[in-house]
Chains A and B, each alone.
Chain A
Amino acid sequence: MTLLRVQDLTISRTGSGAHIVRSANFALDSGQTLGIAGESGCGKSTLLLALMGVVKPGLAVTGGLVHVMGQDLRLIAPEAMRRLRGQSVAMVPQSAAMALTPTMRVGAQLAEAMAVHDAIPPDTIAARTTTLFARVRLPEPDQIGARYPHELSGGQMQRAAIAMALACGPKLLLLDEPTTGLDVTTQAGILDLLDELRRETGMAMVCVSHDIGVLARLTAQVAVMYAGRIVEDRPTANLLTRPAHPYARALMASVPRIESPGLPPSIHGSPPPPGETGRGCAFAPRCSRAHAACEEEPALSPLTEGGRIACHAPDHGPLAPTEMPDPVVAQEAGAPIIAVRGLVVQYRRASLLSRLTRRSLPDPVLAGISLTLAKGEILGLVGESGSGKSTILRAIAGLWPPSAGSITLDGANLPARVTERDRTALRRVQVVFQNPDASLNPRHTVREILAQPLRLYFNASPTEVEARARRLIADVRLDPAHLGRRPAQLSGGERQRVALARAFAAEPDVILCDEVTSALDVSVQASVLALIHDLCHARGTSCLFVAHDLAVVAALCDRVAVLHRGRIVEEGPARTVCSTPEHPYTRSLIEAVRRASDVRGHSFGES
């Protein structure tokens, strides 16, 4: 019997009727696995929730059907639906930190998952709780159940959530971005666990992720979604080596790879806002192969070598290897623009009030960091959360005064606090923050955002501000029409471009980039990386680029410093560090990246 059948499923906004998911079709038998790949807003999470009969408020299923184990979810009685959930179909949520009830001990939450179904005899629940915690390799499985969610780390919470999904031995497991937001080593561990569980239990899986590498590890079949539609649906091995849909090809090419440094090609433009697609192929406006036929939306039709595709102009050639632009060699031993010596940052004890009223500050310790940034160089600073990488950046920016050590700008001492620095020193060092949603004032127009540094540093007159703002907006490859908009009217990538334009408006010598691409979709990330590269090299600006993703750093940077627990453990040219890592930590980091996104891996294909 078909375990899961989705037929012409369409989910729309109740108000506007805009389609969030359009005519999704697929089926899954016991033991089969399906990955759904796509960027944010493509409808993949909405589709996954619908498999459990859930639509978020404001949305409604407006067409098609979902059959789970022969039962039509449209017609199923509430009690039967409840029995289905958790027992036959279980879900691992996107963020376990949000999905575990804060006031309940994790053991009680796991026991509850069993107790509400009759599948497990009540007297064995306690023992099975321990077994399950051990199964997901949580430490001290017999005791960890007494803890509250906030007493677990991010990876442990994710493991607890997996244990909960496994509680009743479901036939079908749904995974919503199971590793997003976790450190790369943690991520690799979770993927190993899920892969192992799938082999052992033989349960069917549907996994949604923006990261094709994750899907490659877990699923035998991958469907790529774009603007609410499945555009290509192939066996994983096939899709990875020779994707045919131009979007799937571009998406895969835009992922930075540690084994082939250099900037990945990006997709021009950005995806349409959810539900706002025209009549034709939704990807046509961004597609280099688009032609007249693309005015009509292509149907999802079978491919001869297996799988399906929705494209009028598929490209069946092999995926071209990443272009390798010539490595930009920084002037050897060029004069340092920024030199950091013996930087120490101590953890400050937050007062009671600040702990109650503000989000807690990360509290890494920097234990004597020394590094230099040469003129015109792009230096990558890579490390996991809590390694202190952002602290270094904030110390240089004067936002987090160090307790010891010195920072010089062009040989001159840079005061510790931003308030003690003179206007020129301030102008020469600019910061770009991680999340442009937060770093741009939602009430300002782009024009006002760009005007601020121009007025502050150059006392620019209104006409001069306008002229310079227009030039800047063109430099970051945006349209002058964007000047009148507010951040909410821009896409994520456009916002980060505006943030970059604001930083470059100061004509700085150094820009400090704090995880500037980690909030962006991968195709947008590629274009922002290219922009940073071009802007810095065109102007001779130096860049300190902080990131958690070694592959991203390797793609952009000339030189890399690896940070671990507040110390630099390895430093060197990007390619050397990635190809021949010296330090064991760097090696484990690279190994984890490989394991987590092993697109040419070995484990898929068996179903």
Chain B
Amino acid sequence: MLGLILRRMATGWITVVIVAVVVFIGVEVMPGDACTAMLGRDAARGDVLENCRDRMGLNRPPVERFVAWAGDLAQFDLGVSMKRERPIADIVGPRLRNTLILAAAAALAGVPLAIGLGVMVALRRERPFDIIVSTTALVAMTMPEFVAAALLILIFAIWLGWSAGVVTAAYDAPALALLFATPLPAVTLALVYMAHILRMVRSSVIDTAGADYILMARMKGVPERQIVLRHLLPNAILPTIPVIGLTLAWLLSGVVIVESAFNYPGLGRLAVNAVADRDLPLVQATALIFGLIYVSMTLIADLIAMALNPRLRTRRL
């Protein structure tokens, strides 16, 4: 078990390293570099460009620059933003916090609800409740975040006036202030991945209900309620845990859209702005952080699944 965990964590770290390499290469192969971006196309020529490159160390070979960048990263030094001329860590820090608040609020409310609903509809398979919920889930799943955002703003902010439409709080506002400014970004984010998780849990429960051991429990005279709680659910939910982690991680890209749509001061909107500003070091940093979040989410989900799965837990290595 311990060996398995260590291995899984090691592969997580390897993935992070590969992400760093990929991000570096990605920015490297793009036309232009930090200096052309900073100086603008017209000014970026001759001595001015050379001086800038010298100053920023861009004339060194790529491998050397990667090692330097990675070395800084290892010490949590993300470099300096060109446009904003401040350490990236200072810019990213509060916005990362904001995004995590948003994602955590959405996940904490959404995941249990999605699992619960998924189980409920699976147990009432093909009945009106299932058909209504499953169809709603399908619609929610296929609705792009910006459409959901616009729709929620229209209904809850404009028509009903229950909540503010966009976030006006500053990026360094207290955590709760941000969250209570409007629940709509969290709801939007939750809506889409809840639909994914609900559908997956529903399928898994239906598949598991056909297993021999469920029939066997029934043959033992176990009451239906107990069959569901002790035999069906643990086996149905277990395989979905890594996929839930993957879904959450994968839908992180939704953050980019949702934050833009609601003007939420998080990492996603920062990334959009950084791209628009051609602030390459900042783009690199945000891409890397997104990668890191993805890797740690899938890692955590896998570890939870390992801890809960007796087949893995009892393996001796």
Contact = CB atoms under 8 A, between A and B. Distances in A.
A and B touch in the complex (CB under 8 A): yes
Contacts of B314: 148, 150-151
B2 to A, nearest CB: 14
Contact of B212 (A86, A99, A104, A352): A99
B88 interface: no
B235 A103 contact: yes
Interface in A75-91: 82-87, 90-91
Given A99-B213, A100-B216, A116 B223 contact: yes
A102 B311 contact: yes
Nearest to A113: B220
Nearest to B308: A103
B62 interface: no
Interface in A46-70: 52, 54, 57
B230 A54 contact: no
Given A82-B223, A148-B310, A148-B311, A54 B215 contact: yes
Contacts of A40: none
B311 to A, nearest CB: 5
Contacts of A295: none
B238 interface: yes
Contacts of B216: 91, 93, 99-101, 161
A471 interface: no
A104 B221 contact: no
Contact of A98 (B211, B219, B310): B211
Contact of B218 (A85, A95, A104, A151): A85
A100 B217 CA distance: 9
Given A93-B212, A352-B7, A102 B235 contact: yes
B217 A150 contact: no
Nearest to A117: B221
B226 interface: yes
B144 interface: no
B231 interface: yes
B222 interface: yes
A103 B215 contact: no
B234 interface: yes
Contacts of B213: 98-102
Contacts of A117: 221
A117 B220 CA distance: 9
Contacts of A113: 220-222
A164 interface: yes
A112 B218 contact: no
B226 A54 contact: no
A84 B221 contact: yes
Given A83-B221, A117-B221, A150-B310, A95 B235 contact: no
Nearest to A351: B7
Contacts of A102: 213, 235, 310-311
Nearest to A98: B212
B18 to A, nearest CB: 15
Interface string B250-293: 00000000000000000000000000000000000000000000
Interface residues of B, number: 27
A112 B211 contact: no
B221 A91 contact: no
A49 B149 CA distance: 53
A103 B212 contact: no
Given A102-B235, A104-B230, A112 B310 contact: no
A474 B222 CA distance: 54
Nearest to A78: B224
B220 A103 contact: no
Interface string A161-189: 10010010000000000000000000000
A151 B316 CA distance: 11
A16 B215 CA distance: 25
B219 A86 contact: yes
Given A93-B212, A95-B212, A103-B310, A87 B235 contact: no
Given A95-B212, A104-B231, A116 B222 contact: yes
Nearest to A167: B220
Nearest to B211: A98
B25 to A, nearest CB: 24
A85 B221 CA distance: 5
A112 B210 CA distance: 20
Contacts of A148: 310-311, 314
B7 to A, nearest CB: 5
Contacts of B234: 103-104
A405 B226 CA distance: 56
B212 A112 contact: no
A29 to B, nearest CB: 22
Interface in B224-252: 226, 230-231, 234-235, 238
Given A98-B213, A99-B212, A103-B235, A54 B219 contact: yes
B219 A112 contact: no
Interface in A132-172: 148, 150-151, 161, 164, 167
Contacts of B235: 101-103
A102 B211 CA distance: 11
Interface of A: 52, 54, 57, 82-87, 90-91, 93, 95, 98-105, 112-113, 116-117, 148, 150-151, 161, 164, 167, 352
Q: Report the 7 A-B pairs with minimum CB-CB distance, sorted nearest first.
A: A86-B221, A98-B212, A99-B216, A85-B221, A103-B234, A86-B220, A148-B310
6 contacts: A54-B219, A82-B221, A86-B220, A105-B310, A148-B311, A151-B314
